[in-house]
Amino acid sequence: MLFIMNKKAIVLLSGGLDSATTLYYALNEGYSVEALVFDYGQKHKREIRCAQALARVAGVPAFKVKIALPWRGSSLLDPGIKVPDKGVRKNTIPSTYVPARNIIFVSFAASCAEAVGARTVFIGANAVDYSGYPDCRPEFFSAFQKALDAGLKAGVEHRGIRICTPLLKLSKAGIVRLGTRLGVPFEKTWSCYNGEGVPCGVCDSCRLRAGGFKEAGVRDPLVKN
């Protein structure tokens, strides 16, 4: 597939460290950005408010997309399933995995991109320091790119929409360093799977974030020392 350069992009913005860094990366690369923020029934709305705040600070329009996943299937969606707080065992997929979440999100983003004339979809997926979700791996994005090329009008007309994953092969410390260079307002991000007043510090997302900031030698503004 031949991609012709177009500087309009859709950024999937969750309000977390990775998506915020991806937003600022896209802006630094000169893209005109529109952000998509998903309300998909997650237990708390803190990350949605953070995503909207990040978009305001960055000066980009953010469109909240509300969808329902009534079958749940994840501890992020089902109030009857507790978010793990003992760490994640190696080579296992934790209960925080939301079935097909990135498939759903990238599909919406591609639809939006085709409708508004954008040629790039940015997603802050990471396959190094992550929770083992299958839809965060390079092979997933490679396969899904082929699906978009075959299934979109833009793809058939050889002006395809590109999935861009700038953080895919970075460590969490590398993401923190990149975000620092780009001026990401880390204090407006939220990574914790719980929506309390302060990060819980024990869920897998908190552990990965803490490790990244520590290794990068950067203070996390959400953690009070």
Contacts of range 115-118, beta carbons closer than 8 Å, 24 or more positions apart: 116/8, 116/10, 116/34, 117/6, 117/8, 118/6, 118/8, 118/9, 118/10, 118/34, 118/161
Let me know: does 164 contact 16? Beta carbons within 8 Å: no
> Structural domain boundaries of the chain?
8-216
Q: What would the CATH number be for the domain defined by 8-216?
A: 3.40.50.620
Let me know: does 48 contact 15? Beta carbons within 8 Å: yes
Backbone dihedral region for residue 102 (phi beyond 0: left; psi -120 to 50: alpha; all else: beta): alpha
3-state secondary structure of 224: coil
Let me know: does 174 contact 168? Beta carbons within 8 Å: no
Per-residue pLDDT of the chain (225 residues; tens, 9 = 90+): 444 466 999 999 999 999 999 999 999 999 999 999 999 999 999 999 999 999 999 999 999 999 999 999 999 999 999 999 876 666 789 999 999 999 999 999 999 999 999 999 999 999 998 889 999 999 999 999 999 999 999 999 988 999 999 999 999 999 999 999 999 999 999 999 998 889 999 999 999 999 999 999 999 999 986
> For 123-134, what is each residue's pLDDT tens digit?
999 999 888 999
pTM: 0.94
The whole-number pLDDT of residue 91 equals 74
Do the bridges between strand 8-12 and strand 162-164 make them parallel or antiparallel, or are there none, so unpaired?
Answer: unpaired
